[in-house]
Amino acid sequence: MPNKTFFWFFLPTGLAMILFIGLPIISTGIQSFYAQHDQVVKEVKKCDPFGCTVSIVVDQEKTSKIREEKPLGKFNGFGTYVDRNHLAIKEIGKFWDETNSFGEFVDQVTNLPFYKALIFTLTYCLFVTPNVLLLGFIIALSLNAVTRRIRGPLIFGTILPMIVTPLVGSLVLFWMIDAEGIIGANLQMLMDDPYLSLKSSKTLTWITIIIYGIWHHSPFAFVVFYAALQTVPQEPVEAAIIDGASRWQRVRHIVLPHIYPVVTFVALISLMDNFRVFEPIIGFSAEGSAQSLSWLIYDNLVNEEVILFGSAAATSMMTIVGIAILLAPVLIRTWKEFRTAR
Amino acid sequence: MKKILISLLLLLFGTSAYADCNIKSGSINILANDFPALRTFVETAKGCKGSADFKVTHSSEHNKIAVPALTANPSEFSARIAANSSIVPLMNQDLIRPLDDLVKKYGKGIQDSQLITIDGKIMAVAFMANTQHLYYREDVLKELGIAVPKTYEEVVAASEKIRASGKMQYPYAAAYKAGWNLAEEFVNMYIGHGGEFFKAGTAQPSINNAKGVATLNMLKKLAGLSNPDYLTHDSEAIKVEWESGNVALMTLWASRSGTLLDDDGDAKITAATKLTGPATVAGGNIPAATLWWDGFTLAKNRSDADAEATFRALAHAAANKKMVADAADQAVWLIEGFKPGPKSIGVIEAVKMKAKPYPMLPQMGLMHGALGSEIVEFLQGKESAEQALKDVEAAYMSKAKEQGFL
């Protein structure tokens, strides 16, 4: 497609993207540099059905005046980014000075909310993405080999996990792994341990969420791979068969190279999706054992009675940066291939 | 067509004849939590809506919607049913209006004790009280010869005895779900120890002390006697545990007693379910519980006409002796004419024992949030009590700085 045609073709999408994605990101970015004004409080008498006490409230007269002058809040620069609930630069420096061994230092750092969430998020990405690719590919290959007659229903059955709403899917699994659910109770019997609980152990919770993630995302990889498999030319495959190549050799040397760009694409999308892991944490009520970056944003926005816009915005910006860093190797590689292809 | 019109007209007259407060215009839209007593209250208010528009949203996620919805101008809701803790963010952001004039004009029948006054202005009208207290299985305790526990130390001893008897594996339950619920349990237990959350007159945290450590240790002891999934259990989940007969001692909201003692479920368990006051801890006199009120507030960013219509409808319910008599089982009403029944024992005992109300401080929400996530690892045995409390204070300080409290 000539560049000019592409431009006009892309224009409506591009405009919508600027409007609905670009501008909100910019606004979030600006928000992340501001904190609330210093609260002006005053002592007052408060009475309720249980009696009267002297307590403090926010002085609205004075506060509203300050708010009107600077509605965005107090400029805080990178203050929110480096505070204890985010990058915690100062705290990490302190830990470095105070701790005696490297292990202790790591313990202290991973105890900070942002790093705790980052570690879970990365672990989730690292385990889910390759497994999704692998499982999706194996399913696509197997389904491609079965007779056409039963292929339709099989495909439908395979993509079901993707059709099920993530929250519902995780809730169903959550009930199944309950100590009295079908999986939980059977596991207790198998392991001969009546105290075994998948929800109370951190490691088991992580494993459950990761397995759920693989289950939920594999159909996407499968669908794309299956479509790509239909485009594999038959001649080289037949030639290889005549040359006596095994099934594995054919997959390794003909099919994989052919669908390689698609693999890159699926890897990119999966990585992006997995880095934003959120629903399973809510569905599994796993907040205690597993927090992701997206969950931190949610926590700042809704879990407190006071909404922390600055914190949420800062974490959002760092999530974007995180995704960019994760995708960089793949993107650079694609760009290089694109250059050599031209 | 004619028939439809006639029946519609009849319907209209039918409802307005029911309990007309003669409200001529305006639109009423209420945001409220979702439990039976609040539904009754709002239904009663609806009965007197007259020709005003009437809408209501009952949601257990009410806390998440309230501030954004009331910040809009005009705001989505004309009234919000709030409690001690949820009125604070509305006050902080200046989102609710003083009710003095309306109370004077239309507040006939509302008792003075129902009025929440802050700095001399009426900001809310309370209609029910709530607290968390003990529930016990009479049959189980009797069989094992255990007296009804009055302190958390006795709760621990009783639970251990029940476990040793082999009757129940996890005899104790409380809403320990990581987040708001768990933090609420800490707040109760810490107040029971006589702790203060902040250095007097400031927003500086002061929970990293001996009382805080004792609080955490008691929570951990109780958690050890609960179902191992306790970090995922909210009030609803432990209610289910109770109804399946897995639990013999439980700390739960008074407002849930209605659904716990209704005809659903195993009649034997329901018959043996008994209520008692909240427990004390560590030899203290005041119970390890907080008192709560539920009341209505009116949105500031809404026309005066809507506010007036809303107030009249809600005031009708907040001074309604018939509702209080009909729904005496559903809540501990603060309304005149309420005769406490067996389901109100918990709250009444708590008031008698001089339980403290939940602290209505502007920065308390931030402390509550920090507690909910930072003490989890202590309960899981991954860090010491001191470290957990240090983490809570540090997490709170960062949030409080961002919000301008420090």
- Give residue B14's pLDDT: 40
Please tell me the CATH superfamily of domain A112-341, with its number. MetI-like (1.10.3720.10)
Search chain A and give the residue with CA nearest B176. A288
pLDDT digits (tens, 9 = 90+) for A318-339: 999 999 998 888 788 878 887 8
B373/A291 CB distance under 8 A:
yes
CB < 8 Å to A85, chain B = 395, 398-399
Q: Between A41, A44, A63, which is nearest B118 by CB?
A: A44
End-to-end Cα distance, chain A? 14
- Per CB-CB distance under 8 Å, the chain A contacts of B64 are 302
Q: How far is A107 from chain B (nearest CA, A)?
A: 10
DSSP string, B75-96: -S-SEEEEETTTHHHHHHTT-B
**Span A139-183, pLDDT tens digits:** 999 998 888 889 989 999 998 888 888 888 888 888 888 877 888
Do A46 and B377 lie within an 8 Å CB cutoff?
no
Give residue B3's pLDDT: 52
With contacts defined as CB-CB under 8 Å, which chain A residues touch B125?
Answer: none
Length of chain B: 406
3 state SS of A197: coil
Q: Which residues of A touch B180 (CB under 8 A)?
A: 303
Chains A, B: CB pairs < 8 Å: 167
Nearest residue of A to residue B334 by CA position? A49
Nearest CA in chain A to B96: A60
**Nearest residue, CB atoms, A58 vs list B126, B362, B383:** B362
Spatial distance between the Cα atoms of B396 and B270, rounded to a whole number of angstroms? 42
- Give the SS3 label for residue B348: helix
Mutation target vs A (from B94, B115, B402, B406; most A CBs, 10 A cutoff)? B402
Look over chain A and give the mean of its residue pLDDT values, rounded to a whole number.
Answer: 90
**Rounded Cα gap, residues B13 and B89, in angstroms:** 40
Phi first, then psi, for residue B330 (nearest 5°) are -85, -25
Per-residue pLDDT, averaged over A260-265, amounts to: 89
Interface test with chain A among B65, B87, B398, by most A beta carbons within 10 Å: B398
Residue of B nearest to A35 (CA): B402
Q: What is the pLDDT of residues A30-75, one digit of tens each?
A: 999 999 888 888 889 999 988 898 888 888 888 888 888 888 888 9
A200 contacts B230? CB cut-off 8 A: yes
Chain A contact present for B287, CB below 8 A: no
Domains identified in chain B and CATH numbers: 11-128+292-339 (3.40.190.10), 132-288+350-402 (3.40.190.10)
Q: Which amino acid is at B343?
A: K
As given in the structure block, the two tokens for residue B202 are 């400031």
Q: Going residue by residue through chain B, which has 406 residues, state the pLDDT in tens, using 9 for 90 and above.
A: 455 555 544 444 443 334 457 788 889 999 999 888 899 999 999 998 888 899 999 998 888 889 889 999 999 999 999 998 899 989 988 999 999 999 999 998 999 999 999 999 999 999 999 999 999 999 999 999 999 999 999 999 999 999 999 999 999 999 999 988 999 999 999 999 999 999 988 899 999 999 999 999 999 999 999 998 899 899 989 999 999 999 999 999 998 888 888 878 889 999 999 999 999 999 999 999 999 999 999 999 999 999 999 999 999 999 999 999 988 888 899 999 898 888 888 999 999 999 999 998 999 999 999 999 899 999 988 899 999 999 999 999 999 998 889 8
Q: What is the pLDDT of residue B22?
A: 79
B179 closest CB neighbour out of A36, A57, A303? A303
Whether residue B240 lies within 8 A of chain A, CB to CB, comes out as no
SS (H, E, C) A129-178: HHHHHHHHHHHHHHHHHCCHHHHHHHHHHHHHHHHCCHHHHHHHHHHHCC
> Residue A306 and residue B293: Cβ atoms within 8 Å?
no
Nearest CA-CA distance, residue B257 and chain A, Å? 21
Nearest to A305 among B88, B228, B402 (CB): B88
Alpha helices in B167-277 (DSSP H): 180-192, 210-224, 235-243, 257-260, 267-272
**Based on the number of CB atoms within 10 Å of its own CB, is B323 exposed (0-12), middle (13-18) or buried (19 or more)?**
buried
Domain residues of chain A, as ranges?
3-79, 112-341
C-beta atoms of A60 and B177 within 8 A: no
B71 to chain A, any CB pair closer than 8 A? The answer is no
pLDDT at B213: 97
* Distance of alpha carbon A191 from alpha carbon B208, whole angstroms: 41
Q: Which of residues 248-277 of B touch A (CB under 8 A)?
A: none
Considering CB atoms only, which of B361, B383, B404 is closest to A37? B404
Nearest-CA residue of chain A relative to B378?
A: A288
Q: Do A60 and B94 touch (CB under 8 A)?
A: yes
Q: Does B323 touch chain A (CB under 8 A)?
A: no
pLDDT value at residue B10: 45
Chain A contact for B130 (CB, 8 A cutoff): no
User: Minimal Cα distance from A44: which residue of B?
Assistant: B119
Whole-Å CA distances, B129 to B38, B83, B347: 12, 9, 7
